[in-house]
Amino acid sequence: MDLPDSICTEVAILCYPDCQLAAVYGLTDLFRIAGEISRDRADGETTPAIRVSHWQLDAFGAEVVCTFDSHPGRPHRLGYVVVPPSLIVPSRMQPMQTLVSWLLAQHGNGTRLCSVCAGAFLAAETGLLDGRDVTTHWAFAAELAERYPQLRVDADRMLIDDGDVVTAGGILAWTDLGLTMVAQQLGPSIMLDTARFLLTDPPGRLQQPFIGFVQRRDHGDEAILKVQNWLQTTNARDHAIEMLAGRAGLGERTFQRRFLKATGLRLTEYAQHIRVAKAREQLETSRRSIEQIAWDVGYGDVSAFRRIFQRLTGLAPADYRRRFGAVLQDPEEPLVPTIP
């Protein structure tokens, strides 16, 4: 079905040597099914679709080329690029500098970098994972942390969404990644119907009736994209306009105008979304108190944190934890108490 560019989000899957083809074709099928469900629901009206393309080195190993396109005949505009699992252990993966350079170029254009399982090793070669929480297969976690000490490896988590970089854990975690993308682009209802059709569990963190913060990164403003990357890496702890305008190489008023145009949010609002997204992750996966979490994400005033969190998520932090917390609790040991 031919669809106009304006309603196609493109997911590029990188087919590197010895990658898991089940993930390549499984993701392709998953996105096609999601698109068909979305179209059937719309009853003939125009609906968003996820365009899928496959990319690999040419016969000379000199250039990365497209070998499959679900919606051919128009310029590529990659929203995501996925590095699938490897069928060989990381220590035997080949050096792939051409692919690394290609990944860096795509990310520089606003593409979100995603990896699954041992694909994290190829993604880590870009340096874009430095200073971030990332995940991979539990069997490779120690090696990933040793080889790339700048990473914070958390093998207990199935999927970590850090805005412009997303990492998924086990070799079949491509289903979690794919369904997460469907939820972000087509909505949580389509994601759940897709999971039901595939007879697979939806990602636990996305069974909620609202979607996490999805940053606009394909706007083409390189100065603003640079600031977005810095805010994500630092959890927006410092978002002073003067400092960020300097990082962008712009005057303050010009910076604010271009930031709003590119992201759709004012700087303070953008920083709040990043901080609340980090708080949501900690509420879902840790037993830390709400006060500790508020302080960790940059709020000295816990009352202000509660107000902002509820405004952005629709739930108070304690209610959010009760509803979506994944940490198993000893029935005789309460969670760390919080101030009412």
Question: For residue 304, what is the domain's CATH number?
Answer: 1.10.10.60
Q: Are residues 239 and 180 in the same domain?
A: no
Among 206, 231, 266, the domain boundary falls at 206
Q: Are residues 248 and 318 in the same domain?
A: yes
Rounded to an integer, what distance in angstroms lies between the CA atom of residue 85 and that of residue 102? 18
Q: Are residues 228 and 121 in the same domain?
A: no
In-domain check, residue 334: no
Q: Are residues 269 and 128 in the same domain?
A: no
Averaged pLDDT in 10-residue chunks for the chain of 340 residues: 58 96 97 91 72 94 94 91 95 91 95 96 97 92 94 89 92 93 90 92 50 74 93 89 94 95 92 92 91 94 94 88 68 42
Q: Are residues 157 and 254 in the same domain?
A: no
Q: Count how many Cα atoms sit within 13 Å of the Cα of residue 294 in the half-sphere of its side chain.
A: 20
Structure confidence at residue 83 (pLDDT): 98
Q: Are residues 252 and 143 in the same domain?
A: no
In-domain check, residue 92: yes
In-domain check, residue 317: yes
Judging by beta carbons within 10 Å of its beta carbon (0-12, 13-18, 19+), is residue 241 exposed, middle or buried? Answer: middle
DSSP 201-242: PPPGGG-SSSPPP-----S--HHHHHHHHHHHHTTTS---HH
Question: For residue 145, what is the domain's CATH number?
Answer: 3.40.50.880
Q: Are residues 175 and 238 in the same domain?
A: no
Rounded to an integer, what distance in angstroms lies between the CA atom of residue 213 and that of residue 112? 13
Q: Are residues 118 and 243 in the same domain?
A: no
In-domain check, residue 214: no
Rounded to an integer, what distance in angstroms lies between the CA atom of residue 115 and that of residue 8? 21
Rounded to an integer, what distance in angstroms lies between the CA atom of residue 167 and that of residue 116? 6
> Which helix (H) or strand (E) segment is 51 a member of?
strand 49-57
Q: Are residues 226 and 286 in the same domain?
A: yes
Q: Are residues 299 and 152 in the same domain?
A: no
Q: Which domain holds residue 114?
A: 5-206
- List 286's β-bridge partners, or say none: none
CB 114 within 8 A of CB 81: yes
In-domain check, residue 338: no
* Tally of CB atoms within 10 A around 337: 9
Among 147, 173, 206, the domain boundary falls at 206
Q: Are residues 34 and 165 in the same domain?
A: yes
Rounded to an integer, what distance in angstroms lies between the CA atom of residue 312 and that of residue 283? 15
Rounded to an integer, what distance in angstroms lies between the CA atom of residue 179 and that of residue 200? 10
In-domain check, residue 319: yes
In-domain check, residue 217: no
Rounded to an integer, what distance in angstroms lies between the CA atom of residue 108 and that of residue 218? 10
Q: Are residues 168 and 141 in the same domain?
A: yes
Structure confidence at residue 211 (pLDDT): 43
In-domain check, residue 340: no
- Rounded to two decimals, what is the model's pTM? 0.73
Domain tally for the chain?
Answer: 2
CB 183 within 8 A of CB 189: no
